[in-house]
Structure 1
Amino acid sequence: MVLVRLADRPIALPVAVVAVSVATTAGWTALVGRGLGRATAAAVAVAALGGLLAFAGAVGVLSTLVTVGLLAASQGGARAAFGRHRPKGAIVRPARHGVLLLNPRSGGGAAEQHDLVNEAAARGVRVVVLTPDADLRALAEEAADDGADVIGMAGGDGSLGLVADVVRRRGLAFVCVPAGTRNHFALDLGLDRADVAGALDGFEAAIERHIDLGQVGERVFVNNVSLGAYAEIIQADSYRDAKVGTAAAKLPELLGPDHAPSDLRFLGPDGRVQSNADVLLVSNNSYHLHSLGGLGIRSRLDRGRLGLVALSVGGARDLAALLALEPVGAIDRFRGLQRWESPTFRVDSAQPVSIGVDGEALSLAPPLLFRSLPGALRVRVPLHAPGVRVLRPGVRGTVRGLIRVAAGKQGA
């Protein structure tokens, strides 16, 4: 369809490229600018996109919408074709004394929506509901002291990390119940995030395996620690209630033309000291990085390595390049992106460092010492869990893999 449209109107492609470039540049300027400059840039971005739509005409818009729909269908079909894989583990017996710690406020009240208290009781699991002033770590320690052999947490990823730390130190097993907002950890464990109550079957006969945890200072994390622009944004008191507005207010200060470089010093993949990262991400095992949408996916949680990503966006031109690489699954070719792995990592600074630990805002005194804790946590997942989604390696790798699937062979 795209080729037919280009043959019919060959001028469409260069006009579209110019219009999108202008809109991207103006949009970035509006995002990181202030006052009249921000308003003017926003108007230019809207005008560029409006002009593109006017140029395309009704037929062009319809073709564009159909093309976008076909691309979405292709993405969904490819994901289903590649399927999932189930990490190896041992089948274990039901918990003798299971305890579920439950945060009723997480995920917009997901615990109540899925009736987790009664669902857990039906499985013989004791439920401890958190109150606003509860000490989660102390409650987990108390459950262990009372003889729990399996402890679960129904809440956000930050809460999961706190409980997982207690569980691994006490030599117990852990159950993840995806009752938070995004539930990235549950995704990478291979759970069905839509079947919240079904995750409680981890207390029944289940598959148990050892996975890694990450640690910064004395704080354990299950997903990642962010430093730089994002970490500064989530420090604001208004972030929880107004994420978009807070980000819009902070970005000019953090990434605008007059912003001061972040004081984060670390050894890059070449062993040299670097200090120019706008965003620095330290994760418990590496994320898939062929696309921005893949940043929430890890195919392994047991490699004993920290995943390290440093991103530097110099301005509108860099942003345009990054957005151009995104549709073809090639953001790892962006010149401002570096990625590598290491069992340990150190970040130095002349002042306290703002960080986001599994999405929760903290400030730590430097130096920040990160390390992987290989095989530190025994985690149980239900026998019916769908497994970890198979990752697709960019456009070329996806095409080759789909051909193999169509031929009845393994796609990866």
Structure 2
Amino acid sequence: MLFVNPRSGDGAASRTKIVERAREHGVEAVTLRPGDDLRTRVLEVVADGADALGVAGGDGSLAVVAAVAAAHGLPFVCIPCGTRNHFALDLGVDRQDVAGALDAFTQGVERLIDVGEVNGRVFLNNVSVGLYGEAVRQAGYRDSKVRTLAETARKALGPSGRMPALRLVDDTGREHARLALLLVSNNPYAPGLASRPTLASGQLGILVLDTPEERRHPPGRAWSAPHLEVQAPATVHAGIDGEAVELAAPLEFAVRPAALRVRISARHPGAPPVARIPSPGSRRADAQP
């Protein structure tokens, strides 16, 4: 069963005729309409006996369906029809071969990956609070992400700005009580890159940036851990896989190792570009000694 969000990626699903192509693969497709509750629709098809679940849409829709697939032990297929297709990149799905991604239903290679959770809610990519959590709530965020984030930072970090009072302890035992940004990802990102080498490390990636008045050096820290607790005095605005949500304090983050069965087309890489970059000093297997 494939769920299709026709509004994702400026209509990518319609341009690639994904519904018609899915039916050619023997996959039943459900086109989501405005007002549909995606989780309810997915639970209905699972109750009717669906044996695999897929999504042609953005990362927010992917996370909803993946959560149900993980809960029921069903295989999950990612069809990259969103705007950025962040999860597809790190999963190793060829984002330029939307139609070919459908092969995963019938000729897919299956493996297990981790999922993240915050307060029991599944996420595939990351959860961000602080500046990003405030920016994603703004009306202009979808159309101009960088501009909206910059404007949010200017207001929040200015003389009259107020950041949410978040508090956590990092892996060195140092307390962070005034955060500009907290990013918790399902598996760590490669240093300096917006991509994760693996989705099966059994670890969360954690990045904190302190507000300027903290005057710390360095002003932030990155580490990995299987869980994290964040204290806050009230409800926290957050972005979860690009969707604006509110989370009740405390925020309890955890990784669920090998919780999701994913299927990837056999003709797709099956690993992100960063994982395919040779490490310094490595050589090809067929190189002469």
Task: Verify the 8 A CA contact 1:213 1:376 in the aligned structure 2.
Answer: yes
Residue 189 of structure 2 is matched in structure 1 by 287
CA distance in 2: counterparts of 1:241 and 1:363, whole angstroms: 22
Residue 302 and residue 314 in structure 1: after superposition, are their counterparts in 2 closer, same or farther (change >3 A)? same
CA distance in 2: counterparts of 1:391 and 1:180, whole angstroms: 21
Residue 354 of structure 1 is matched in structure 2 by 237
CA distance in 1: counterparts of 2:159 and 2:281, whole angstroms: 43
Task: Verify the 8 A CA contact 2:133 2:244 in the aligned structure 1.
Answer: yes
Map 1:3-402; keep pairs closer than 5 Å: 99-289=1-191, 291=192, 294-295=193-194, 297-312=195-210, 314=212, 335-391=218-274, 400-401=281-282
Could you give the per-residue CA deviations for residues 323-365 of structure 1, whole angstroms, max 9, x where no partner exists? xxxxxxxxxxx82231111111111111211110001011112
Residue 274 and residue 248 in structure 1: after superposition, are their counterparts in 2 closer, same or farther (change >3 A)? closer
Residue 274 and residue 388 in structure 1: after superposition, are their counterparts in 2 closer, same or farther (change >3 A)? same
| Paired residues, number | 287
Task: Verify the 8 A CA contact 2:168 2:176 in the aligned structure 1.
Answer: yes
CA distance in 2: counterparts of 1:354 and 1:168, whole angstroms: 26
Residue 408 of structure 1 is matched in structure 2 by 287
Highest CA radius of gyration, 1 or 2? 1
Q: Give how far 1:240 is off.
A: 2.3
State TM-score, norm by structure 1.
0.65
Paired-residue identity, %: 45
Could you give the per-residue CA deviations for residues 82-132 of structure 1, whole angstroms, max 9, x where no partner exists? xxxxxxxxxxxxxxxxx1000000000000111101110100000000000
CA distance in 2: counterparts of 1:212 and 1:110, whole angstroms: 27
5+ residue gaps, structure 1 = 1-98, 319-333
Is the strand fraction higher in 1 or 2?
Answer: 2
Is the helix fraction higher in 1 or 2?
Answer: 1
Q: Give how far 1:406 is off.
A: 11
CA distance in 2: counterparts of 1:336 and 1:393, whole angstroms: 31
State TM-score, norm by structure 2.
0.91
CA RMSD of aligned residues (A): 2.5
Residue 298 and residue 121 in structure 1: after superposition, are their counterparts in 2 closer, same or farther (change >3 A)? same
The one-letter amino acid of 2:271's match is: V
Q: Give how far 1:390 is off.
A: 5.0
5+ residue gaps, structure 2 = none
Secondary structure of the corresponding residue to residue 220 of structure 1? strand
Q: Which has the higher contact order (CA 8 A, sep 6+)?
A: 2
Task: Verify the 8 A CA contact 1:154 1:178 in the aligned structure 2.
Answer: yes
CA distance in 2: counterparts of 1:165 and 1:261, whole angstroms: 31
